[in-house]
Structure 1
Amino acid sequence: MDEGGFEREYRKRRRPPGAYLLLLGVVLLNALFQAGRPDGGGGFRWILGPPVMILLFVAALTRVLLEQYRAFTRVTSAGITARSLLRTRTWAWSEVYDIRVEPLPHGSGSNGPRWFTYLYDFDGRRFLLPHLDDWQLADPYAEVSELCLTADPQRSLGWEQRPDVEERIRRGALRRRARLWGGYGAVAMMVVMFVVSLALVFADRADHPFLLIVCVPVASGVALSAVLQWYWTTQAAN
């Protein structure tokens, strides 16, 4: 309890994310399968082989553990502290522009929380408040509304919206949307390049799996993201 007599902490999900557990199992099984194969497999073995699979397994396991036991959000009458996987940030209430509950982007899957809470500062930047979501809470909207009412006496500006900040928030949303679709494009291109590389192997022609399966999709995703951001920003300005 802080000096003002108000403190709430949100940490640790009700259950580990099912998608991560599934990923851990698939990656580990594939690593064991690849490790039992005789040497060979060409360039694909370097991309899908045991070293990469084990590295992915360790990365996924580390993320699950950090989300479960490190990340949290603490709210007091003095401000908000959010600890993510690797970093801790603290904002006084006077530095907080708004707190908003937002849905998961369409098409991002449902193996986890569907509603997240974000803090916006006066520069329009958005920060995730860990575990303040619909896995931790039955009604995130009601919880955030109560937090804002509790913090209102600490804010000299109140919670009124400012056009300049709202414009920066809108531009940030367009950038995130463009990056999301750029990621979708990169995944689609990766599938295409995987088929192309596999066809080259069967045709006994020189294949370059790292270039085709990694470099080309990444470059395509970055290009698509840049084009979409320019297009949507132009459309919104008209």
Structure 2
Amino acid sequence: MGGDIIRQYRRRGPAWRALGAVVLLFAAGVGEVLLNGVPFWPAVALVTVLLMADGWLALALLRSRTVVRSGGIISYGALRSRRWAWHDIRDLRVEDAPAGSSFRFVACLYDSAGRRTVLPFVNDRCVTDFHAETEFLRGVLASGRGVA
């Protein structure tokens, strides 16, 4: 699935702040383990779990995005990416965000098998004019499928 990038949706704001918070979480966890006199092997296990969790979080912050290309849509997560060609996409819908989110609406992709995928960073917090942007994406979907 090649083609030029039409749109790219990423986390808004500087990533270094969020990465700094991840480093602080890791340092606080290691400090807690060291200050409480945890025996060596449990301490190693706890630090390893902290490192893996914080590493995954940092990777997700740096890598996660949604890319719209002339050939379709690619959704990147922390460890995997999912690709849909235009003919594999049945619909793009605006739906209410899950309760407790910092945004109100998200864009959801429904593939030809009926599976629903929430597109990363295509929401009313990361996109300035969210409803206009989703209409634009629906137009790109229609033209990508050859529908007038």
TM-score by length of 1: 0.49
1:30 to partner: Cα distance: 4.1
Query: Is structure 2 residue 124 aligned with structure 1 residue 134?
Result: yes
Asked whether the equivalents of residues 11 and 68 of structure 1 are also in contact (C-alpha less than 8 Å), the reply is no
Q: 1:73 to 1:38 in 2, by over 3 A?
A: closer
- Correspondent of 1:154 among 127, 144, 147: 144
Q: Counterpart in 2 of 1:119?
A: 109
**Secondary structure at 1:130 match in 2:** strand
> 2:68 corresponds to which residue?
75
Q: 1:76 to 1:27 in 2, by over 3 A?
A: closer
The residue that corresponds to 2:31 in the other structure is 32
More helix by share: 1
CA distance in 2, matches of 1:55, 1:114: 36
**CA–CA distance in 1 between the matches of 2:70 and 2:25?**
45
- Residues 1:24 and 1:88: Cα distance change in structure 2 (over 3 Å): same
Q: CA deviation digits over 1:37-90, x for unaligned, max 9?
A: 3457xxxxx9xx634542343234323322332222211232112221111222
- Asked whether the equivalents of residues 29 and 47 of structure 2 are also in contact (C-alpha less than 8 Å), the reply is no
- Cα deviation, residue 143, structure 1: 0.8
State how far apart, in whole Å, the 1-side matches of 2:103 and 2:48 are.
26
Deviation for aligned residue 1:125: 0.8
What's the CA shift for 1:104?
Answer: 2.8
Matched with 1:98 is: 91
Q: Secondary structure at the match of 1:9?
A: strand
Q: Which residue of 2 aligns with 1:88?
A: 81
Q: Contact (CA 8 Å) 1:71, 1:83: kept in 2 or not? A: yes
Deviates more, 1:76-85 or 1:6-15: 6-15
TM-score, normalized by length of structure 2? 0.72
2:123 match: secondary structure: coil
TM-superposition CA deviations, 1:157-201 (whole Å, max 9, x none): 78xxxxxxxxxxxxxxxxxxxxxxxxxxxxxxxxxxxxxxxxxxx
Displacement of 1:154: 2.7
Task: Provide the rounded CA distance (Å) in 2 between the counterparts of 1:63 and 1:114.
Answer: 26
Q: Which has the larger radius of gyration?
A: 1
Q: Extract unaligned runs of 5+ from structure 1.
A: 41-45, 159-238
Partners of 2:19 and 2:58 within 8 A in 1: no
Bigger strand fraction: 2
Query: In the TM superposition, what is the alpha-carbon distance from 1:146 to its structure 2 partner?
Result: 0.8
> Number of residue pairs matched?
147
Q: What is aligned with 1:57?
A: 50
Q: Show the 5 A alignment for 1:39-50.
A: 50=43
CA RMSD of aligned residues (A): 3.6
Instruction: State the percentage of identical aligned residues.
Output: 29
- 1:100 Cα deviation from its structure 2 partner: 2.1
Report the equivalent of 1:14.
13
AA at the equivalent of 2:116: R
